[in-house]
Chains A and B, each alone.
Chain A
Amino acid sequence: MSSYPGATSVTDSQPLQGTQKVGGGAQRASSPAGPRPRRKATDWRQRFEITVLAGPAIVVFVAFVIFPVGLAAYYGFYRWKGFGPPIDFVGLGNYVTIFADKAFHEVLLHNGIIVVLSLVIQGPIAIVLALLLNQKIRGRSIIRVLIFVPYVISEVIVGTGWGLMLQTTGAVNDLLQSIGLGAFRADWLSDPRIAIWALMIIISWKYIGFAVILFLAGLQSIPEELFEAASIDGASYWQIQRRITLPLLGPTIRIWAFLSIIGSLQLFDLVYIIWGQYVASTAGTSTMATYMVANGRTSGNYGYGNAVAVVMFLISLAIALAYQRFVLRRDVVAGAVTERKK
């Protein structure tokens, strides 16, 4: 989730170039000097500069990302209670247990549901809102701020607030009762058939502002002339949206979908706040991350928890790479084309 704010600036005013950078991955970033002819005299200085400037970041990255990932993989091969060094080597035993565990199958299903529903619910609504807010209407900036506010509020506050309101004896049920819709009262958080939908409502409410802001930025970078030309040619409003806006917004939508998928796969905080340490699996809202904490940290099975972390990492990595390969790649090519035209 922490990757969201960074992405906002990437797509700020030049979405095509921005997506190209994200999509292009490491190769592009590793040759910042570009095709400029180098002079020998400055060569060592440049290298020194790069080393000094990038060094701390690389050290921090290796120490706090690469090293822990490696350690997790190492611990994952042990049955380890967390006290002292691990000695009980079980090979792939933990992984066999994970994939045989019914609770883990449920977790995968929940994560899948959250990924799909996040895209299906938030995407269309956010596009419509962005189109609406791209018009010159009164109070536009206030509406924009209001839509973005939930995204800024911390997950803990959102979780606590919604958790209290959706209690069986909470505000939502009271409201339904008092406006004569008592038949729709429900155990929003405890009923396994409803709880995941309650979670989806909260997630949509929380993250839709982010999608809207992203799409608005994308919309504003579409040249005005295209709309003018289309309307001169007699295109209707809907035709313009369908034929011009949406295709040109495509790269932004794809980047948003990428961030949304990764966020959904790693969802933890909202579930943990609302359902606590134990009952997320009972309510049918457990995710890979809450499974990891419940079966790793809370149960004191640190070896097993590390194995779950590795599985989670591999699943996210595989999905991210597949998405970049099959979906985001077209944006890289398209970006290069527009760049050349400029």
Chain B
Amino acid sequence: MKRKIRVAGILALAVATALVATGCSGSSDKGGSAGGKVTMTFWHNSTTGPGKAFWVQTVKDFEALHKNVTIKIQTIQNEDLDGKLQTALNSGDAPDIFLQRGGGKMAAMADAGQLMDITGSIDASTKAAVGAGAFKGESYKGKVYAMPVDVLPEGIYYSQDLFKAAGIDTPPTTMAELNADVTKLKATGVAPIAVGAKDAWPAAHWYYNFALRECSEATLEKAGTSLKFDNACWTKAGNDLKAFSDTNPFNQGFLTTSAQQGAGSSAGLLANHKAAMELMGAWDPGVIASLTPDQKPLPDLGWFPFPTIAGGAGDPASMMGGIDGFSCSAKAPKKECTEFLNYTTTKSVQEAYYKAFNAIPANSDAQKVITEPFLKSVLAAYSKAPFVSQYLDTVYGQNAGNALNTGVVDLLAGKGSVSGIISAVNEAAAKG
């Protein structure tokens, strides 16, 4: 009897082991065509609200037009996306379509042969509507690796009501005016400027913009390839930021404030009238809208370009700006994947995109439907800008970019120094 039990136990164990073993190796329904049917995976970062709904609808419409295609959407929180994407690319289990940040990050993926060259697959109508500028931003070594869906120039978003309450009639255009407005806003008891330093990059964007004003276009472009910050303008930009941060313009506890998550985030502070300003790219109105009490766009939202400074080498009308694009992985089914990318830039989809994200669509025909005054002023500044630089952390790639961002946070927290920002980037070079 006893022996029987023992044998049964061994059998059970063997079966269990077999189950565990197969569980590890199973389930790998990769994209690919079987009998004309194509399944693709699609990663983007709109986890809530109308943005999420927009992609669901777009995919559904696309599937209706292409009966043989199924697209599986996976939404990933913005701050987690880059790390997860890199892990997925490393493991050879990459999504077929994914959000592309461009710059050094895109270059690293392209160098590793992970991206599909879509240069020859872009529709003529898309080319005409989107324009060469946006495609240039999604190119590397003369090849286009991503389809731009929107343009995201940066500037300062602010609450017109809070500005009025503080007695500010027109938004500041110079640093001196900004400093004066910060003082006025403090007197009313709100935080003048919200910054989500927990995520590092929102704080670092202040440094990027000071660098944009202090450094010439040529200097910025050169640093993008050499990763050397020997020009004096980098230090001057750091000094500008230090001087500005010494006036305590940021919200209390900004070091542990995140950028986009919840009412306590920097976008949430603006959405709930706890802070008056935030330096952000053009995705911000959509993020703010999802964090207002009624989850509707903030009615009194305004925008002005980053203030000018005296004596900088940069053009005062230059802007920081990103482009959101989508890439196909090298292993994705080429025809279907590029068809989907082209589809995302068609006029009707782009108009829906604008409505969902409150962002400026890449398609210039779709830009005509923009009604919000703040987006109109963003667009006006964007079309006048002589030079639009990609965000520096994107340009420098994940390694140097992260080090730069962390160096800026250290400076703002009073832990690091201006020279620390530059040495942080140099030290990072030794690690990768």
Contacts and interface: CB of A to CB of B under 8 A. Distances in A.
Interface in A49-65: 49, 52-53, 56, 60
A278 B199 contact: yes
Contact of A278 (B82, B399, B406): B406
Contact of B198 (A60, A276, A298, A300): A276
Contact of B409 (A94, A278, A295): A278
B113 to A, nearest CB: 8
Contacts of B79: 276-277
A314 B427 CA distance: 24
B159 interface: no
B32 to A, nearest CB: 21
Interface residues of B, number: 47
A245 interface: no
Interface in B183-240: 197-200
A276 B258 contact: yes
A83 B89 contact: yes
Interface string A279-313: 10111100000000011011111111000000000
Interface in B88-121: 89-90, 108-109, 111-114
B90 A302 contact: yes
Interface string B413-424: 101100000000
B264 A278 contact: no
B35 interface: no
Interface in A159-183: 163-164, 167-170
Contact of A279 (B13, B83, B111, B200): B200
A340 B199 CA distance: 60
A163 B256 contact: yes
B143 to A, nearest CB: 17
Contacts of B406: 278-279, 281-282, 294
B403 interface: yes
B197 A298 contact: no
Interface residues of A, number: 43
B296 to A, nearest CB: 25
B432 interface: yes
B83 A297 contact: yes
Interface in B359-401: 397-399
Contacts of B111: 83
B89 to A, nearest CB: 7
B415 A192 contact: yes
Contacts, number: 127
Contact of A282 (B114, B253, B409): B409
B398 A299 contact: yes
A198 to B, nearest CB: 10
Nearest to B262: A164
A82 B111 CA distance: 12
A277 B78 CA distance: 13
Given A167-B253, A275-B256, A278-B402, A303 B432 contact: yes
Nearest to A308: B431
A81 B197 CA distance: 26
Nearest to A98: B431
B410 interface: yes
B256 A274 contact: yes
A116 B10 CA distance: 46
A60 B255 CA distance: 42
A299 B87 CA distance: 12
A300 B397 contact: yes
B33 interface: no
Question: Among the interface residues A49, A163, A279, A303, which one has the most CB atoms of the partner chain B within 10 A?
Answer: A279
A190 interface: yes
Given A276-B258, A282-B413, A83 B197 contact: no
Interface string B8-42: 00100110010010000000000000000000000
B174 interface: no
A189 B430 contact: no
B428 A97 contact: no
Contact of B413 (A60, A97, A167, A192): A192
B13 A53 contact: yes
Contacts of A301: 399, 431-432
B252 interface: yes
B86 interface: yes
B220 to A, nearest CB: 22
16 contacts: A81-B112, A83-B108, A97-B430, A168-B252, A168-B256, A169-B252, A187-B255, A190-B253, A190-B256, A279-B256, A282-B255, A282-B410, A297-B86, A298-B83, A299-B403, A300-B86
What 8 pairs across the A-B complex have the smallest Cβ distances? A168-B253, A83-B112, A301-B432, A278-B200, A190-B255, A300-B398, A168-B252, A56-B17
Given A84-B113, A282-B410, 19 more contacts: A81-B112, A81-B432, A82-B89, A83-B89, A83-B112, A83-B114, A97-B430, A101-B431, A168-B256, A169-B252, A276-B79, A276-B199, A276-B256, A278-B199, A278-B402, A298-B82, A298-B402, A304-B431, A304-B432
Interface of B: 6, 10, 13-14, 17, 20, 79, 82-83, 86-87, 89-90, 108-109, 111-114, 197-200, 252-256, 258, 264, 397-399, 402-403, 405-406, 409-410, 413, 415-416, 427-428, 430-432
